[in-house]
Amino acid sequence: MFSATKAGMEQYVLNEAGLSWTSAQAFCRTSYTDLTSVRNEVEAAMIHSLLGGMEVWVGLFRDPWVWSDQADSSLRFWPADQQVWSEDVQDCGALLKTESGRWGGRNCSEQHPFFCSCKNTDTKRTYIKVKINLKDSALDLNNSVVQNNILKQMKLKQKEDGITVMQTQWRKQPNGKIFVKEAPDDD
């Protein structure tokens, strides 16, 4: 369900009006983000808990089977007896009420309720330059272990300061490195 207080989290909006898969996709893309993709078991369980016994469209379609929003997912949630590559015209994905929310192919023109994803697009990106004065000049700041340790320390400091909604990560320079050594001052 949608909650404006869950900024930054993907949320699911159930639309109980029956639409074809393509109409549902168009509605979701216009009003929210896209038809919902199910990328892992946690998302599958969350969406299943909202089904209310309905068979609903999700963003799965066959071309081969891919997600409408191009999301990656290694999760496969087909019923054991589902013929994933059948020759009939079942080219759109639904969560099946008779199969405990498992995926199933359906004719795209069928009318079903559907789930939209609502991703917070108001996310603000801020880039912060970090200057590090080394006590040990032999320390390689472009070593991934060193970078991860610095990042952990920064996140710990953010948490101590009560900053919990900010995602912190390194940004690589065009040369592929994160840190660039400054030229010495000519003072």
Burial of 86 (0-12, 13-18, 19+ CB in 10 A): exposed
Q: What are 120-143's pLDDT values in tens digits?
A: 655 556 677 788 888 877 888 888
- Same domain for 68 and 97? yes
Does any domain span residue 153? yes
Residues 130 and 146 in one domain: yes
Mean pLDDT on 59-75: 56
Q: What pLDDT sits at residue 186?
A: 64
Q: Which residues of 26-52 are buried (b: 16+ CB within 10 A; e: fewer)?
A: ebbeeebbbbbbbeeeebbebbeeebe
Q: Which of 86, 118, 150 is the last residue of a domain?
A: 118
Specify the pLDDT at position 118: 80
Q: Are residues 15 and 100 in the same domain?
A: yes
Task: Identify whether residues 89 and 145 lie together within a single domain.
Answer: no
For range 35-46, the mean pLDDT: 79
pLDDT band at residue 111, thresholds of 50, 70 and 90? very high
CA atoms of 29 and 34, how far apart (whole Å): 5
CATH code of residue 54? 3.10.100.10
* Residue showing tokens 């892992």: 40
Instruction: Give yes or no: residues 17 and 92 share one domain.
Output: yes
* Residue 83 confidence (pLDDT) above 60: no
pTM of the model: 0.49
What range defines the domain where residue 151 resides?
A: 126-178
Domain end: 75, 102, 118, which one? 118
Mean pLDDT of 20-36: 86
